Amino acid sequence: MLIDTHGRKITYLRVSVTDRCNLRCRYCMPREGVPLRGHRDMLSFEEIETIVRAAVELGVRKVRLTGGEPLLRKDFPKLVVKLASLQRLDDLAMTTNGVLFAPLAGKLKQAGLKRVNISLDTLKPERFREMSGSGDWAGVIEAVEAAVKHRYQRVKLNVVVIAGYNDDEAGDFVRFAMEKGVHLRFIELMPLGNDFWSPDRALAGDELRKRVEREVSLSPLPQDGVATEYQIKGSPSTVGFINPLSQPFCRTCNRLRLTADGFLRPCLAGQSEINLREPVRHGMSGPALRRLFYEALRLKGQGHRFNGGRQESNRLMAEIGG
C-alpha cells in the first residue's frame, strides 16, 4: 500500500506514453513544440508494463494513459491489451485530444480501455483552429460520438476555461454534453510553463458554476476525485469543476505520474522525480522496484506551488502528461 508522509493513500497512476502531440494548444505547448526525446529515451511497452505492474502490486487501482497525444504512439492498442490484463487493475482510462480517436474507438474498447476523456476547449471551429493550430475540430466531435457509440463506461469532455476566449461557451457546452450523453469537466487555466498564462485569462471555477446555473439546475454530488461534481437535473450527464488554483485539492491527491521517458513524479507542479527507466532497463523488478515508489512518496509535498501564477516544475506540462 502506498501512503505518503501526509497520510494520503495513492491509488492512481497517470502514464505518459509519448511527448509528441499533433496539436499546438497555446496554453499547453509552444507553437514550435518542445525538445523531443529520442526513441531510445522513451519507455518501451514492456518497461511500462513492468512499472505499472509494480504500482498495482502496491495498491494502484486506476491507470490513465496520456501524452502528449497517446494515439501518436505506434501500436498503442497493444499497450492497452498488456495493461488491461493486469489483475487487480480496476480502471484503465485514456485522455486524448480526439483527433485520431474515432477510427480506433472500437479496437481500443475491445483491447480493454474502459473510459475516455476527450479534450475540447471550444465548439466553434474557427476558435479551435486559433487555439490549437489545427483544422481537425470535426474529428474531435466524431471522437465524442464514437466513444458514446461504443459504450465506454464513462465518456468525459475536458474543457480548459480561458477568460475572453471560450468562457462565453459554458452554456453551449452544457447543452452539448446533455445532447451527446457525456459528462462535462471545466478546468481552470493553470500556469503551465509558457508565455500564454496571465491572471486575466484565468476564471475561477465558482464564477463559471454561477454562469452554468443560469442555464440549468445543478444538484451536488459526493466528491470523488479532483472535480466538484453536480448532476444536471433532468439529464444523466454531470458537470464538474476542477479548480487547482482557486480551490486546491492537494490534501486529497491520490496520484503519481510516470513520464514517457521513465521518471516517476509525485506532483505535476513540482521538480522532484525518480528515475525508473534505468533501473528497469538493468533488470530491476519486484521488491526493489517497488521501493523506488516509496522514494517518490517521500518527495511528495503537502501542496503544489503555483506561486503567484508561476509554474515551479522543471518541465512543461506537455512533457509530463498532465
Specify the pLDDT at position 33: 65
Angle 287-289-291 from CA coordinates, rounded to 5°: 70
306 in Cβ contact with 197 (< 8 Å)? no
pLDDT at 223: 82
pLDDT score recorded for residue 305: 61
Q: Write the class of the CATH domain 12-320.
A: alpha beta
Q: Do strands 183-188 and 154-161 pair parallel, antiparallel, or not at all (unpaired)? A: parallel
pLDDT given for residue 4 in this prediction: 84
Cα–Cα distance measured from residue 276 to residue 185, given in angstroms and rounded to the nearest whole number = 32
**How far apart are the C-alpha atoms of 214 and 290, rounded to whole Å?**
49
Angstrom distances, CA of residue 230 to CA of 113, 177, 218: 25, 13, 6
Model pLDDT, residue 304: 63
pLDDT value of residue 6: 87
Tens-level pLDDT at each residue, the chain (322 residues) = 899 888 889 999 999 999 999 998 988 876 666 777 888 999 999 999 999 999 999 999 999 999 999 999 999 999 999 999 999 999 999 999 999 999 999 999 999 999 999 999 999 999 999 999 999 999 999 999 999 999 999 999 999 999 999 999 999 999 999 999 999 999 999 887 667 888 899 999 999 999 999 999 999 999 878 899 999 999 999 999 999 888 888 888 899 999 999 999 998 877 889 999 999 999 999 999 999 999 999 998 876 665 554 455 566 666 676 6
Sign of the alpha-carbon torsion through 192, 60, 239, 20? positive
Residue 82 CA to residue 73 CA, distance in Å, equals 15
Quick one: 218 exposed, middle or buried, by C-beta within 10 A (0-12, 13-18, 19+)? middle
Q: For residue 270, what pLDDT is reported?
A: 78
Per-position DSSP letters for 169-185, written without gaps between them: GHHHHHHHHHHHT-EEE
In Å, how far from its chain's centre is CA 47? 21
What is the full DSSP assignment across 189-241?
----SSTT--GGG---HHHHHHHHHTTS-EEE----SSSEEEEETTSS-EEEE
Reply yes or no: is the peptide bond before residue 68 cis, omega within 30 of 0.
Answer: yes
pTM for this predicted structure: 0.93
